[in-house]
Chains A and B, each alone.
Chain A
Amino acid sequence: MNALLEAQGLHLRFGAVRALDDVALSIWPGEVVAIVGESGSGKSSLLRVLAGMQRADAGQVLYRDAAGATHSILDASDAALRRLMRSDWGFVHQNARDALRMEVSAGGNVGERLMAAGNRHYGNIREVAAHWLERVEMDPARIDETPKNFSGGMQQRLQIARTLVTSPRLVFMDEPTGGLDVSVQAKLLDLIRGLVADLGLAVLLVTHDIAAARLLAHRIMVMRHGQVVEEGLTDRVLDDPRHPYTQLLVSSVLAA
């Protein structure tokens, strides 16, 4: 078995700000890795670099596909990256509106990604879309409604259905529960936890929510000022934090 994605020596600057300062990371099949840290720590930049949405100043990102071929993400053409995003990867944005087409029906939003992946049978696509609405605990009767009418939590469920319908091997999630009510967050986290375990997905999850990381992730990386200051098994990092910043982060969480 090999790592799905491996990154080394990543550097990225925005003017005087070091967004990434010599970051390395690897993720293996079936592994859920959380990247935590405060705003401006570089965690979202890291995710965008790994997903080929942002070029780094230096470093290397290698993705190994199902056939065993290795893709150098930082050198890949836009077309190659789009292909990977259609076939192998998924990206769940914090704001569902960044991913959904608001004027297209819920079923269309899910089906569109299937069609992009080469599925052409309309009846089949509708059936699969309905099935996925159910899997994300949405009422399949709303398949023809547009997401404009949906609550924030429902839009996020729809985005997850749209992302997972093509059976990606690696899913990038950027604050997937950010901006939602606490009760909605809990249900959504629970849904993600179940789907990730059932599908054996590899997930790179960026979050500032320590509780979410504890619930979902096998492994945690703590970022600050563009550097990974601590990493390890989720329960080890959270129960025995070593780095001063990790101790601050963990001690700032209210026990519920």
Chain B
Amino acid sequence: MIVLHTEALAKSFTLHLQGGVSIPVLRDVELTLRAGECVALAGPSGAGKSTLMRCLYGNYGADSGRILLRHEGAMIDIAAADARVMRAVRRDTLGYVSQFLRVIPRVPTLDIVAEPMRARGVAPDEARARAAALLTRLNMPPALHGLPPATFSGGEQQRVNLARGFAAGHPVLLLDEPTASLDAANAEVVIALIAEAKAAGCAIIGIFHDTAVRQRVADRLFQILPVYEPA
């Protein structure tokens, strides 16, 4: 079952403060993603892998083309969706684990991880219990669960981010360098989480610079090549 499909997706950045220079990043991207598979984005640094990921999440707005996503049983074009629809898509269908955690002041780790489950209507106690279990699995000791992650190390913050991303059970998950700051033991946990999510029917798009990790989780590669302006 196709859960995500892009058609002629294009994205450029126009820098009005730099004399209006336009930088094309994506052109004619045609990507298809099916339930239960993991597609790894490949290509040289700067080719636009993260930009594609952010376009899919609605964090960057596409210039043209369509991003069709299966949401509540129907394919909708999220490139044209308004902000309210996009919020519902993010709550119920599309998860995103960015490389860096955006820390909210004073909110304890456990609540950060439980929040997407709470937003989907999971009862507070159950959401917190599931959050604690996931954090513990990612080798975050319970003593840290009550603390805001502002003072955590990069690897710890990434695990908080991962726990938050996997907690809600979204049917489509975007993972940007999920093992970048992790040691081998924690990378193994992430590989297992990805395998379990796939087995449960979750479709994943990932960027993995670690080729060993990539070979173990990805079913296929999707090449992204830099866009050059015609001379």
Residues of A at under 8 Å CB distance from B?
A: 28, 31, 186, 189-190, 193, 215, 218-219, 231-233, 235-236, 239-240, 242-244, 247-248, 251
Contacts and interface: CB of A to CB of B under 8 A. Distances in A.
Interface residues of B, number: 17
B185 interface: no
Contacts of A186: 105
Interface of B: 13-17, 54, 58-61, 83-84, 86-87, 104-106
B83 A233 contact: yes
Given A193-B104, A218-B83, A236 B58 contact: yes
A232 B61 contact: yes
A239 to B, nearest CB: 6
Contacts, number: 47
Q: Chain B: interface secondary structure?
A: mixed
Contacts of B14: 242
Nearest to A234: B83
Given A193-B104, A233-B83, A247 B60 contact: no
A240 B87 contact: no
Given A31-B84, A251-B17, A240 B60 contact: yes
User: Which of A31, A236, A239 has the largest number of chain B CB atoms within 10 A?
Assistant: A236
Contacts of A242: 14, 61
A189 B105 CA distance: 9
Given A186-B105, A193-B104, A240-B61, A233 B87 contact: yes
Contacts of A233: 58-59, 83, 86-87
B161 to A, nearest CB: 15
Nearest to A219: B83
Nearest to B90: A233
Contacts of A236: 58-61, 83
A248 B15 CA distance: 10
B104 A215 contact: yes
B83 A247 contact: no
A237 B135 CA distance: 32
B141 to A, nearest CB: 26
B105 A232 contact: no
Nearest to B87: A218
Contacts of A189: 105
A242 B16 CA distance: 8
8 contacts: A190-B106, A218-B87, A219-B83, A236-B59, A240-B61, A242-B61, A247-B15, A248-B16
